[in-house]
Every structure is written in structure tokens, then in C-alpha cells.
Amino acid sequence: MDKLVSITLAKLLGMFLYYPPNSKVTASLTPALLHINHLAPWKDSILIYEQCHILVNQIDNPDLNYQFSLLFEGQGTMPVPPWGSFYLDKENLLLGKSLESYRQFLQQHGVKLNTGINEPEDQFGLMLMAYAMLLENNHHVTAKQLIDEHLLSWSSTYLKKLQKSQISPFYQALAVIAEQYLHML
């Protein structure tokens, strides 16, 4: 996959899986997201087209921000926690050994994540944005290491749960697209 395409997809997916749909960050990116099927040579272009159709139909859903809050910020018990340490730690702790390892990895490679949101760095969307940042700075080996050692170890479980969640068709579609993107990597 072309480097620029990979960066663009990682940023788009990362931002929509990290920031609420009504944020200033995602507002200007909505047109690109709704046509994400045209941005890459998808292995299953029909599946991606179908997911884009779902995104188009859901983007103006007045409940979308609430759905985001349920899935990513927490309104009681989170049905699908977006942090790797939840899936990798034996006791589902957010600040477990896997997060410490990921923090050391980021520090070792000089990656600073400053989004203004205080949460563990192993949030799925944030990890995709870190991957994009590494690619942009031509740190290809480090970017591959992030994906191979820190994201792929749990992302499939997370994305499958998000796809099965009945909370939001919008985020179900994003999970399908993100899963296809990771398969392309």
C-alpha cells in the first residue's frame, strides 16, 4: 500500500475512533471518511462500499455523539473498551503491563501524544494516529513495530466486539473498515 494512502487511512480512522463526531477535528474530515472506499485499493471493495453507505446514512444521526460517549468515554460500564491493556491484562486493568510496555516504546522512539484528552495511550484510535505520525516522519520500521507488537495483539478482539455491538451502526461500520485496513497492512 502506498505510504500516503496508509497515513491518510490511519489518520482518518484514528481520528473518528478517538474524537467525538461533533468535534472540530473530525468535522472537516467527514467528506473524506464518507468516501473512504475511493482512497485505497481495498481487497473487498464491495464490503467497504457497503460500510461507506452505512456511514453516510448515520453521520447525521442525532444520537451519534451519545453513541460515541457510550463506546469511548463511558456511561456506566463500557460495552467495548477501546484500550489495549483491557484486552491484554489478565485482570482487564487499563494501566497494566502492556500499557507500560507501550509507553516505554513511545518514549524510546520520541513519540509524544498530546491530544488534550487524559486517557491511556493505548486507545485504538490514538494508536492509529501514532502509527501515521511515525510513517510521516519516515520511521517505517518503528511504525511496523507499533502495529505488530502493540496493536495487532488485541485489535482483532476489540474490532470484532465493536462490530457486534448494537449501540451504533456508524461505529460498527468503522470497525469493519479499520479491520480491513489492518489486514492490508
pLDDT tens sequence for the chain (185 residues): 899 999 999 999 999 999 999 899 898 999 999 999 999 999 999 999 999 999 999 999 999 999 999 999 877 788 999 999 999 988 777 778 899 999 999 999 989 887 777 788 999 999 999 999 999 999 999 999 999 999 999 999 999 999 999 999 999 999 999 999 999 99
* CATH code, residues 3-184: 1.10.3480.10
Helix and strand totals (H; E) in the chain:
11, 0
* pTM confidence score: 0.94
Domain ranges of the chain: 3-184
Cell of 170: 456508524
Distance CA 108, CA 89 (A): 22
Distance CA 108, CA 60 (A): 41
